[in-house]
Structure 1
Amino acid sequence: MKRRDFLATASAGGILASLPLRAARARRSDVLRVAMIGTGLRGQSQLGPLLSRDDVELVAIADTQRVMLDKTLRIIADAGRRRPHVYGGDGDTGAWKRLIDGGGIDAVFICTPWEYHAPMAIAAMQARIAVGCEVVAGITLQDHWDVLHAQQRSGTPYMLLENVCYRRDVLAVLQMVRAGLFGELIHLQAGYQHDLRGVKLNSGSPDAPYGSGVEYGDKGFSEAQWRTQHSIDRNGELYPSHGIGPCAMYANIHRGNRFTHLNAFSTKARGLHDYIVQHPKGGPQHPNAKVGFKLGDVVTTTLRCENGETILLQHDTSLPRPYSLGFRVQGTRGLWMDVNDSIHIEGVSPPHAWQDAQPYLDRYDHPLWKRYAAQAAGAGHGGMDWFVIHAFIEALKVQAPMPIDVYDAVAWSAITPLSEQSIAEDYKTLPFPDFTAGAWRQRKPDFALGQAW
């Protein structure tokens, strides 16, 4: 087959998904010029892993808020690094466009509110700037197709920065799955189960972003300025990737398997209203006590896979509860659950009894953690942030495929609009789009996640 015919056929069938992507505009492999769009609390938490690297130069930052830019500049100065070029700070929502148009950037980290992720990623890829995008990839289903097509047309690397894929126990369990410890996989569970009432509602003070009041939107600060509105306007699995990312790795999604169907159910919404009414700065007469929240307190989404597994996700962010992602990995020979830190393996564990999972987690500790635990110590989210940034930077330097690539990103994130559609259409079961156009059959179950580095 002639090269041009092969490329045309591969692109049409999605086969290029399995081929290495070139690094975008990297002038040399030892130092990458990176930028950050969005210097809020999430962006600032990513600065430590970035500024600790001598193969990265942070050359530009952009944000709409001067207070966040100033805090970011102080962090950079305290690290002894050169001051980057600054865009925005005056409420200009178009400052990020000037950053991209300014050139001289190899990669950009997108750490903004969700609704900006797709347009920013598309613009960056069109400018041949590699993208490390915080979750989620888009809002509407069309957003996800647009991100995918922009990546395919440009060939620019895109990685979803899903840090839970690098959680130490999650990666150890991936080692167990690959070793066949659980037998053939049958069922997986996970979710985003995190009390966010004090995140979605606060006093509006930059010095007290959590739990300080019951304001949102223009009167709130940080995530309360934008995330709360999604709970008012939308009902679905709004934050799927923390749970579905590891489950997709276990089930080899896009690497010999795929999602085929989805449905979702939602409970009534009570938690955020009750929080406003009962908060010392709220009460029954507070104006926000009249706000109607569309997002059900618990949203349950079920997916079926081509190879016969089912995956159950739960989104639970508006009720009092301890944090938990609720992982369950179950196969024909046993299962692991993170809530009780326990495991049961037939023929090894006592019959009908749990064992402590820690000895298994130690035995199957992933090579990444064995090699880099010391470097990751102190980074955000128990070191997970260090690993996801490390994987993105290293893949870009050697022009390797992104460990969590654009196909993973759009499929994991598209669960949100599909779950919204399912609930809106009387809990209808929907076919799941095949973003790879059939290439999932040929792709290999690597999920190296930077293991070579």
Structure 2
Amino acid sequence: MKGLKFLLLGVCVAFAACSAQSPSVQVSDKGTHWSWDKGTIVVETPERPAGQTSVIGLTTPKMDVVRVGFVGLGMRGPGAVERFTHIPGTQIVALCDYEQERAEKCQQYLKKASMPKAAVYSGEKGYEELCKRDDIDLVYIATDWLHHFPVAICAMENGKNVAIEVPSAMNMEECWALIDMSEKTRKHCMILENCCYDWFEMNTLNMAQQGVFGEVLRAQGAYIHNLEPFWDHYWKNGEADKLGWRLDYNMKHRGDVYATHGLGPVAQALDIHRGDRMKTLVAMDTKSAVGKALVEERTGETCNNFRNGDHTTTLIRTENGKVIEIQHNVMTPQPYNRLYQLTGTKGFANKYPVQGYALDAKQMSASGVEPKVDDLSSHSFLPKDEMGALVEKYQHPILKKYGEMAKEVGGHGGMDFIMDSRLVYCLQNGLPLDMDVYDMAEWCCLAELGELSMDNNCAAVAFPDFTRGEWNKVQGYKHAYASPEDEAATMEKAKAFTEKLKEQGAKEWAEEK
């Protein structure tokens, strides 16, 4: 009996000793290392590999001409090709898609613009040959989600800058690999988040930066878009594929898998990794009802595990005590909605479903616009005239430069063209891009971190620091601009190049007749 008591005592002592030690590190099915700390899941921030340094504020040498290769020419890619034919100082060198016919079809945009034919690549590994070319500066990636990462890595390994459609990375492993590759190669890795360039978001960002709303304390964003009319338009891998790549991905993955349209614009307004950082999140979702039914309708089989809830909500708290709410719903019938809402100590902005600003008379006057009504109150949105005067005063410089042409060229109302134009502008002028690889990681990581939260009873999850300690190095989000003299000189060269390129292209197309 004494021996048994002694044995039990030893077990208790050993258990207590183990409990007192640091929590054991766990590894998710995606390879992410995490541990518990006082009820919070802490995701590991890997050490920066030797020889790498931060790419915050990264610049590359000025490019008189931006030579582009496009990979992925299904739904969004062709529109990007067409838009680039309107941007002076660019040359479309190569077109690539899994299906050769899609790539060849995009030659029509070059012909219409009197630009020379581009080289065509196709097949599963066609992008590798494109990336090996020595006459490409930028690889523009608009493939399905699962191919964003391998194409981007291949491009940077071959010395190319990359611009990646959303979501640019599907899990933490991909986020870190893209960060490391950008830091290692000193090449830009930009997320193509077009919603950062919509009119209301840009003007509101300018207002926030000028203090119109006081200190912004809370922000909302979303991607609420019933995709019922689109599910069957996503590429299917042969006749056996009944779902298409996007519905299949939603079936297999929990969390906000498409967070960037809602998160990107509000992250800029809150200066994320430019004086503040996302610190902790909690995610919750509804059960899957519509998603489950979609699979069953298409396969004729029972679907017992559709991972993505019909509606997912993620709450984020920042280092400086701000709160962000992001929603995702592509399943239920309701109007399109990205929310975009800023709540400040002195004002309020809201885009969906009602677009408007709320300021009292005192704050309106302090913002440089005298109200025409006597009873202006922040209890309701500004009247039409006051709102128009506010928007006119705070129209973003980028909209002044590109807005009118963007409406003519199009692309989600013009914001795609503004995004592409800014990308080219920064490369031509040797400036930091509007969005860097850390933005990409921060905006894309909600998918896996939210999944981790919900799979652990909606536990709090601590964000890793993608900047590895440099989130406070830059104070305030800013767009970079060249001097008026440099800008004019760059544009003159760009227009001269495009004029000659069109002469060459017109001659080549005429010879084909």
Does the pair score TM above 0.5? yes
Mapped to 2, the partners of 1:127 and 1:234 lie a distance apart of 31
Give the CA deviation at 1:387: 1.1
Whether 1:296 and 2:302 are equivalent positions in the alignment is no
Q: CA separation of 1:354/1:53 partners in 2, compared to 1, >3 Å: closer, same or farther? A: closer
Match of 1:54 in 2: 88
**C-alpha offsets along residues 112-160 of structure 1, whole Å, 9 cap, x if unaligned?**
1111112211121121101111112211211100000000011011211
Contact 2:100–2:120 under 8 Å retained in 1: no
Mapped to 2, the partners of 1:220 and 1:345 lie a distance apart of 56
List runs of 5+ in structure 2 lacking aligned partners: 1-47, 363-375, 488-513
Mapped to 2, the partners of 1:426 and 1:370 lie a distance apart of 48
Whether 1:147 and 2:178 are equivalent positions in the alignment is yes
Mapped to 2, the partners of 1:310 and 1:400 lie a distance apart of 31
Match of 1:199 in 2: 230
Give the CA deviation at 1:78: 2.3
Match of 2:263 in 1: 244
Give the CA deviation at 1:67: 3.3
Q: CA separation of 1:13/1:321 partners in 2, compared to 1, >3 Å: closer, same or farther? A: farther
The equivalences for 1:269-308 within 5 A come to 269-274=288-293, 287-288=299-300, 290-292=302-304, 293-308=306-321
Give the CA deviation at 1:14: 8.6
Amino acid aligned to 2:338: L
Q: Secondary structure at the match of 1:17?
A: coil
Amino acid aligned to 1:305: T
The equivalences for 1:198-217 within 5 A come to 198-200=229-231, 202=232, 209=233
Count of aligned residue pairs for this structure pair: 418
Whether 1:31 and 2:61 are equivalent positions in the alignment is no
Mapped to 1, the partners of 2:196 and 2:312 lie a distance apart of 22
Q: CA separation of 1:371/1:59 partners in 2, compared to 1, >3 Å: closer, same or farther? A: same
Match of 1:401 in 2: 432
Contact 1:391–1:450 under 8 Å retained in 2: no
Task: Give the TM-score of the pair, scaled to structure 1.
Answer: 0.86
Q: Secondary structure at the match of 1:41?
A: coil
Mapped to 2, the partners of 1:15 and 1:311 lie a distance apart of 29
Mapped to 2, the partners of 1:191 and 1:96 lie a distance apart of 32
Mapped to 2, the partners of 1:179 and 1:102 lie a distance apart of 45
Give the CA deviation at 1:351: 5.2
Q: Secondary structure at the match of 1:307?
A: coil
Contact 2:55–2:182 under 8 Å retained in 1: no
Contact 1:258–1:440 under 8 Å retained in 2: yes
**Which residue, out of 436, 442, 447, partners 2:473?**
442
**Which residue, out of 357, 375, 380, partners 1:353?**
380
Match of 2:60 in 1: 22
Contact 1:20–1:399 under 8 Å retained in 2: no
The equivalences for 1:100-111 within 5 A come to 100-111=131-142
**Which residue, out of 130, 134, 157, partners 2:165?**
134
Q: CA separation of 1:318/1:11 partners in 2, compared to 1, >3 Å: closer, same or farther? A: same
Whether 1:336 and 2:345 are equivalent positions in the alignment is no
Task: Give the TM-score of the pair, scaled to structure 2.
Answer: 0.76
Mapped to 1, the partners of 2:53 and 2:139 lie a distance apart of 26
Give the CA deviation at 1:70: 3.0
Q: CA separation of 1:330/1:337 partners in 2, compared to 1, >3 Å: closer, same or farther? A: same
Whether 1:370 and 2:400 are equivalent positions in the alignment is yes
Match of 1:262 in 2: 281
Q: CA separation of 1:351/1:175 partners in 2, compared to 1, >3 Å: closer, same or farther? A: closer
Amino acid aligned to 2:343: Q
**Which residue, out of 54, 73, 81, partners 2:107?**
73
Contact 1:235–1:294 under 8 Å retained in 2: yes
Mapped to 2, the partners of 1:351 and 1:140 lie a distance apart of 41
List runs of 5+ in structure 1 lacking aligned partners: 1-9, 203-208
Amino acid aligned to 2:60: R
Q: Secondary structure at the match of 2:230?
A: helix
Q: Secondary structure at the match of 2:314?
A: strand
